[in-house]
Amino acid sequence: MAFRFVRVFSSRRTLTTFQNSRVVPVTYKEHKNTIPVLSRAYATPIPPPPPKSNSSNKILYLIGAAALIGGGGSYYLYTNNLIKDIGISGNKVSDKLKVIDYAKIYRQIADILEDNDYDDGSYGPILLRLAWHASGTYDKNTNTGGSDGSTMRFSPESDHGANAGLKLARDKLEIIKLANPEITYADLWSLGPIIPWIPGRKDADDGTKCTADGLLPDASKSSNHLREIFNRMGFDDREIVALAGAHALGRCHPDRSGYSGPWTTSPTLFTNGYYVELLKKKWQEKKWKGPKQYVDKETGELMMLPADLALIQDKKLKPYVEEYAKDEELFFKDFSAAFHKLQELGLTRTGEETVYHFKRTSDEEEDKK
C-alpha cells in the first residue's frame, strides 16, 4: 500500500479527487491527546475560523509585502505567468493585514509539484528534504537551530554541504511566497506532508543565527554517529529508524551529495519499501570514482548509503527496520509522530495554537461509525 502526501503526489490531474476533503483544526492541547495520523488527502477550501483578537493566534495575522525580489521586469513577468498558471491573481499582492489561508497555500503547493522534466517527475522529495534539513539542525542542549528562522536563506548555512541542491526547492517555493507574502518562509517550508501541522514560525532578518555546519546526519557514518546526531535533537532509536524511512522518496545526485541513485523502485511513492529493500536485497560496494555507497547485487540500479546499512548492522536498530518492513501502517504512524516532533523542535507553544489535520471527509465519516 502507498499513500500520498501533498509534497510528493499532488498535481493538477489528481487535485479533483480531493475536492470533498477539508481541514480539521483542533487546539494543541486536544492534539496532544491524539495519535498523529497520516491522512491520504489534501487540504481543502475550508479554512479554520479567524482567531479571537485576544488569543495567542494573533500569529496568524501578518503584514504582507508587495515587493518582488531581483531580476527586474523580465523576472516580474515570468513570475506573474507562473502565478496565473496555478490560478492565483498576479496583478496584485496584498499589502494589508489578512488571515492566512493555509488550506489555499497548501493546494497551491500541490499544484506546482508535478514536472516531467525534473528528476522522477515530482518536486515532492526535494521539498520534503528541505523541510527536514531546515528542522534537523536543532540542539536541545543550547536550544538553537530548528525550523524557526528559516536561516537556510542566508550564507553560510545555505552553502553547507548537506544543503547542496536545496536552492532548487527554495526557488520552487518562492512562487508561492510571492503570491502569499503573509506566510513566513519557515512555515512555508514546513507545510506539505500530511501530518499534524502548527503554524507560527518566524523568519530571521539576517544570517547571524545561521547554524554551524555538521549538524545534519553524515551519510558516510555509522550508527554511533546517527545516535549522536539524533540524540542531540531528542530522538530515540525507534525515531531514528522511522525518520530514515523518508529515503523511500527521491534519489541521490552526484552534483549535490556526491552519491547517485534511488533507494527504491518507486521514488515518488511513500511506502515502507525502503525497509523492505534494505532487508531483502544483497548489497555490494559500488565500483566507481565517487564516495563509498552500495548497490543491489541483482540489478545495480538501487543504492544504499553507509548510514542506511548501519540500521541493519546495529543490533538495537535492526529490529525496528524489521518491524516497519512487516507493518506499513505502523511505519506511517511512527513516521508521522517523529516528523511532527522534528518540525516542532525549538518552538515555544502556548497550548492554544491551531493544529491542522488534513483529512478526507470520507475518512471522518468512517471514524464516526
Query: Known catalytic residues?
Result: 133, 263
The radius of gyration of the chain from alpha carbons, rounded to an integer in Å, stands at 20
Peptide bond into 156 cis (omega under 30): yes
Q: Which residues pair with 3 in a beta bridge?
A: 270
Helix pair angle (102-111, 167-179), 10° resolution: 130
Close Cβ partners of 298 (under 8 Å, ≥ 6 residues apart): 281, 282
At 3, list the grid cell: 499513500
At 150, list the grid cell: 528559516
**DSSP-assigned letter for residue 80:** H
At 274, list the grid cell: 525502503
Distance CA 323, CA 320 (A): 5
Close Cβ partners of 309 (under 8 Å, ≥ 6 residues apart): 278, 283, 294
Q: What is the DSSP string of 293-344?
A: -EEETTTS--EE-HHHHHHHHSTTTHHHHHHHHH-HHHHHHHHHHHHHHHHH
CB atoms within 10 A of CB 249: 27
CB atoms within 10 A of CB 104: 17
